[in-house]
Structure 1
């Protein structure tokens, strides 16, 4: 997970959208797979496939930096085994991206 977080930070700093999106997928799905629920994983994968074509729009909004803050929070919460903090960080990450996308797509 740490390597994916590092890749996210490096890609964001370099402005490399494709690398950022690959690392973002790897980071999130490392967490989702670790949850151990095949049913939930399938639902998330289906939702990801529907929304991911819009993720490249988030770069110019500055959302990648905000997302990386949430990713760092997720990482720290997982390290500390704080399930509530993990949920809060995942929710904050998704909510922030959602709000930016809604604004961009209006």
Structure 2
């Protein structure tokens, strides 16, 4: 079951934001490693969309742990995965 992936504008922005933060604080090599982990996580999601934890409010909303510091929120639709946003787990929930 390989579903197609749709990046929302917010997903693109937050992925870039996390990448830039890692690049600035830890260097390009670490940022590139993060990007590879994000891509691998997305590939896993396309094959098995219900593998990761469901939100308490909506079962279609899922949360994938990309790294210890970053999660990916996504929705499972009939034939698509909608990537909503990447979240820095060290942030306060109301700071986004």
Same structural fold, with TM-score higher than 0.5 when normalized by the shorter chain: no
Structure with greater helix share of residues: 1
What is the TM-score when the length of structure 2 is the normalising length?
Answer: 0.37
**More contact order relative to length (CA 8 Å, sep ≥ 6):** 2
What is the TM-score when the length of structure 1 is the normalising length?
Answer: 0.35
Structure with greater strand share of residues: 2
